Chains A and B, each alone.
Chain A
Amino acid sequence: MEPAIETRHVTRILQEAVPVTLVKDINLKIAPGEFVSVTGPSGSGKSSLLYLLGLLDVPTEGEVLIDGQSTAGLERAELAALRLEKLGFVFQFHFLLPEFSVAQNVMLPMQRLGRLSEKEIKERAAELLDYFEIGEQGTKRPDQLSGGQRQRVAIARALANNPKIILADEPTGNLDTKNSDIVRDIFVRLARDEGMTVVAVTHDTDFADAADRNVHLVDGMVARS
């Protein structure tokens, strides 16, 4: 079976006064439905790798393949289209848009994609919020929610367009133990029950242990996989 994500000799160097190598010669194959945690000390290139997998950044060398399709040489707009349809992001901070209600935040990616009618979009947003047991919070503004609730809204937003791949950058980094457990369980459920490919950067050892596989980075290189 085609890997959901594959990297071939991916290297990313920041061209600054003194060039900084973020990641070096990364070769990974992540199968569909696999839950992979990425760990490593600070500055080991975990987040940089995630941004490369998420097509937010472009490798200096090598290529990233999504669903077997190479993304090398694609225009920014084409990368955006791939992100819109196939990828969902969850960050350490919820990054919800403060002007919009919780439900509207979840609706935005669907409206951008424009594949569903406005009514269907509303229904799907409500379903997603229900799924994460925050259905009754839909009309509230993000700042009226607790940290854990906000992170669940962010996950619901990442799932809005039913992507195949969820990329998470320290999704529990800002949460207390109880909420961390909830969020971790959600990711496990997404991989096991919904068959989604999940790649999560984490410091949280419980979180890392819950994954099918752990990729450990040191100095921008894969130390253990």
Chain B
Amino acid sequence: MLFSRVNFQIAFAHLLNRRRQSLVSVLGVALGVGFFIGTSSLMQGSENDFVSRLVDSQPHITVKDEFREPARQPLFTIFQEGAVALKGVKPREYLRGIKNYKGKLEQLEAIEGVIAAPGLSGASIVRYGGEERNVSILGIDPDVEPRLTTIEEDMREGSLDALKTTADGIVIGKGLSDRLHLNMGDLASVIAPSGNVVLMKVVGIFRAGNILLDEGQAYVLLKDAQVLFNKPNIADRLRIKLPDPNTALEFSRQLEQRWDYKAESWQEVNEDILGLFVVRNAILYSIVSAIMIVASFGIFNIISTVVMEKRRDIAILMSMGFRARDIRAIFLIQGFVVGIIGMLTGWGVGIGLISTLASIEFDVEGLIDAQGFPLDYGFTQFVIAGIFALASAVLAAWLPAHRASQVRPVDIIRGAA
């Protein structure tokens, strides 16, 4: 009964009677909603784009031949409470690498949907035509690599598969190729810290869009890497792809617990970037809240004005037998209607903004390549914006509506007579 037809009729009559102001407050809400949808689609889109690049371009988990805790000296284990100092300890030189990596690989591959491959990485210098660059070399398995990373999609010339057919083949980035004028088929000297020098033939050039990779990363066969770095039959990392990237954090913890080796999930590696997104979202939502607050001031304003102007009508409605809560409902309905229409119009504005943004194309080269805005057409933004709009509209209407319901008809009628 509270939102009875007659209350709606009166609310609509009030709004229609002040068409221009109603329109302005609807527009206020609509712009708030529209810009929210536009910007959040942009923000969410770029976040998703970035995260999916992160997730797709790298293995989800990398198990390395490192330990989080340095090995404890036995002395400290024996004298746990003692005041013991140890000086001049020289770390034992041991052959690095993951022990029994083949057995571990089998364990991993036994799990449904998990892809894993061994890798051996090391620093090296690539020399060609008198120029040198530091390059990180990664020994890979070209059969598994395309399923672990997006490297194959980034190939501009040649292929990963050529590594299998060419002795001492190497795949380099476009950046390195440009710097050293090193092209397909050229032979470059690759110098390892161990002193090994191997002449390698460029069989592929990739461009990941990430300068660090394009200038500083090269791929060779695992076997070739083992020869180059003098580490026969050794892999220093296991690179793992999971069916669901979101389980990476949990899975990496389990692996670390089981094998002791440091297992880094993509979330851990990119913690700082993911943290940035949280800050960015917080900024977005505070800006949008500010827009909505301004819009709700508009609503507050128009409904307060109506209430002031309609005091006499309110008094007469009350004398007729309208209850205080009917009066409150009448004005709340007005806020609600402005909110609803504003929300719907705002959705239209949002869709318009998104499609305009989507039609803009540009090329940015930098840490990450982009062609046009990455957008997210998620339904969630529409819902969030809608809830925001309705809530602020009803809240803005509440105060004047409540004041209207507190009108004492006698005061008004006595004053008017």
Contact = CB atoms under 8 A, between A and B. Distances in A.
Contacts of B14: 99
A95 B324 CA distance: 18
Interface string B299-324: 00000000000001101111111111
B417 A92 contact: yes
Contact of B417 (A82, A99, A108, A170): A170
Interface in A134-163: 157, 161
Given A97-B313, A170-B417, A109 B17 contact: no
Contacts of A173: 417
Interface class of chain B by DSSP:
helix
Nearest to B321: A84
Contacts of B317: 97, 108
B13 A85 contact: no
A213 interface: no
Interface in B316-347: 316-326
Interface stretch (B50-58, B86-94, B289-297, B406-414): B406-414
Contacts of A112: 4, 6, 320-322, 326
27 contacts: A47-B414, A47-B417, A51-B410, A54-B319, A56-B318, A56-B410, A57-B410, A76-B323, A77-B323, A80-B323, A80-B324, A85-B321, A89-B320, A91-B416, A93-B416, A95-B312, A95-B315, A95-B413, A97-B13, A97-B316, A97-B317, A99-B10, A108-B317, A108-B320, A111-B9, A112-B6, A114-B6
Given A56-B410, A114-B1, A109 B316 contact: no
B68 to A, nearest CB: 68
A99 B312 CA distance: 13
B408 to A, nearest CB: 8
A160 B364 CA distance: 73
Given A47-B414, A81-B323, A108-B320, A114 B4 contact: yes
Interface of B: 1, 4-6, 9-10, 13-14, 16-17, 312-313, 315-326, 409-410, 413-414, 416-417
Contacts of B323: 76-77, 80-81
Contacts of A99: 10, 13-14, 16-17
Contact of B409 (A56, A92, A97, A104): A56
A179 B317 CA distance: 25
A83 interface: yes
B49 to A, nearest CB: 52
Interface in A89-138: 89, 91-93, 95, 97-100, 104, 108-109, 111-114
A76 B319 contact: no
A63 interface: no
Ranked 8 nearest A-B pairs via Cβ: A84-B321, A99-B13, A111-B6, A95-B316, A83-B321, A80-B323, A77-B323, A57-B410
A109 B320 contact: yes
Given A54-B319, A97-B313, A99-B13, A77 B324 contact: yes
Interface of A: 47-48, 51, 54, 56-57, 76-77, 80-85, 87, 89, 91-93, 95, 97-100, 104, 108-109, 111-114, 157, 161, 169-170, 173
Given A95-B312, A97-B316, A109 B324 contact: no
A147 to B, nearest CB: 15
Contacts of A81: 321, 323
Contacts of A113: 321
Nearest to A84: B321
A114 to B, nearest CB: 7
Contacts of B6: 108, 111-112, 114
A81 B321 CA distance: 6
B320 A91 contact: no
Contacts of A169: 413, 417
Nearest to A57: B410
Contacts of B320: 83-84, 89, 108-109, 112, 157
A151 to B, nearest CB: 14
B322 A51 contact: no
A114 B325 CA distance: 16
Contacts of A85: 321
Contacts of B312: 95
A77 B416 CA distance: 24
A169 B415 CA distance: 13
A170 B326 CA distance: 28
Given A80-B318, A112-B6, 14 more contacts: A48-B414, A51-B410, A81-B321, A83-B319, A83-B321, A84-B320, A87-B321, A91-B316, A95-B416, A97-B313, A98-B17, A99-B14, A114-B4, A161-B321
